[in-house]
Each structure stands twice: as structure tokens, then as C-alpha cells.
Amino acid sequence: MTLPQHVVPSLSGVAPGATVSVDGDEAHHAVVVRRLRVGERVALADGGGRVATGEVVETSKRSFAVAVAGVDEVAEPAPSLTVVQALPKGDRGELAVEVLTEVGAARIVPWAAARSVAVWKGERAAKAHARWRSTAREAAKQSRRAWHPVVEPLATTAAVTEVVRRADLAVVLHEEASIPIGGVEVPAAGEVVVVVGPEGGLTDDEVADFRDAGGVVVRLGTEVLRTSTAGVAAAAALLSRTPRWGG
């Protein structure tokens, strides 16, 4: 069984024999809610590829200390996976972020598509973005990731078009596409982008913009998936043909 993971701001310069303190809400949840105790072994991650393992040597209500026994430097997975997720309604956005983090997305881009039912504006936008970031953080801990995903600020269609343009491979999910997702060649390195539209579907202009930027419009199958689950299905289909998943 893998060790429970806790997040720290940085593990730069930490070596075996050092003691690392974990404070604040992260420690409070571990000690008070999870009842972390002295003598337990845990993993500490900074989300940037460093993971330290060791034994808890001290606890209080809002802190605990770990005697580091080992430190691993984990290479960033390749190819890198970016998922552009159109804003879903309700709490389905957090569901999408959770499963995309578990499957290995490096970057999640919330997108205000033309037909998105949900709207992020003002204070609501800040709160929604914070929830997505918190969900990604917790999912990364649960899935024991060394590299934690970045949740970007809300993007316009123009910004998403540039994400597509810079990608080594960008696929745009569309139920009426003639190309199956299995028909595209997946690079072994670089950046793979998946664009997921909203509940109301992509507009013709959005599809044209992404295609002109180099995106490949593909379908997943005969079934129509929800926007909150289509991204993870596409990511799995692509990653299964890369070295990341043994392809």
C-alpha cells in the first residue's frame, strides 16, 4: 500500500536526515481529522516532482514534523497532457477536475465556451476557480502524484485557440466528427491537448477556429458522453498509446 501524501510548499534542498515541518490546514486535517500519529510513515510532495518519505516525529493540532528518510526526484511525465474543459453546470466542473487529475493531466484550462450554461463572473469566478484548484490539489494527493496539475485562469475561445496552436497534438471532441480518436497518431513527447465542449455542444465557429489552429476534430464513439466525463475518456484513449501507459 502506498503511503498517504501531504503537500508542502517546497522540498528544494531537503535531503535524508532533515526534518520537515507541515503547518496550517494541511497539518490540521492530517492530525485532527485523519488522526495522524507519531511513528507513522508518510510521503511529502511539493507538486513539482520532489517526493520525500519519512516518519512522523512530532504532532500538534496545526503542525507535524517528519524525519526524512529518502527523497525522490521524479521526471515530469511525457507527453504532457492539457485538457481544456468548457464550464459545466452545477458541481460537474469539480468532478471533471477530479478525474482529470487522477488520470494525469498536467494542466486544466477552464473555458467560457459560447454555449456554456455556467458563467464565471466577479466574485463567483474567484470562488469557482478556487474550488477547481482545491479539487485538483486533493485529487493529486489521493492519487499520489509527484507532479500536481495547474488549473489555469478562465480562458476565452481566442486563448484556447492559441493553446491548440502551440500543441504537438490537439484533439477537439465532437460527436459528428468523421475521425475516431483512435485514428490520430499520439506523440511520445511534447504537449497533447484535449478540448472538451459544453453541454450545448461546440459552435461551428469554435470548431473552425480550432481546426484552423491545427486541431484534429475527433469522436469518441457512438455514445455521447457528458462534458464532465468526456475529457477523462479521451485522455485515457490517448495515454494508452504513449510510453506513460506502456503504449
Mean pLDDT, the chain, integer: 95
pLDDT at residue number 1: 62
pLDDT at residue number 159: 98
Q: Tell me what percent of the residues of the chain surpass a pLDDT of 90.
A: 88
CB 236 within 8 A of CB 104: no
| Beta-strand pair 216-219/63-73 | unpaired
CB 34 within 8 A of CB 22: no
Alpha carbon distances (Å) from 147 to 101, 137, 195, 211: 10, 10, 22, 30
pLDDT of 134 strictly over 70:
yes
Mean pLDDT confidence for 191-202: 96
pLDDT of 247 strictly over 80:
no
pLDDT of 117 strictly over 90:
no
pLDDT of 193 strictly over 80:
yes
Q: Tell me what percent of the residues of the chain surpass a pLDDT of 70.
A: 99
Q: What is the pTM of this model?
A: 0.93
pLDDT at residue number 179: 95
CB 110 within 8 A of CB 85: yes
Other beta carbons within 10 angstroms of residue 182's beta carbon come to 13
pLDDT in tens, 18-36: 999 999 999 998 899 889 9
pLDDT interval class at 170 (50, 70, 90): very high
* Domains, the chain: 5-73 (2.40.240.20), 80-245 (3.40.1280.10)
| Beta-strand pair 41-45/107-111 | unpaired
pLDDT in tens, 80-105: 999 999 999 888 999 999 999 999 99
b/e per residue 40-60 (b: at least 16 CB within 10 A): bebbbbbbebbbbbbebeebe
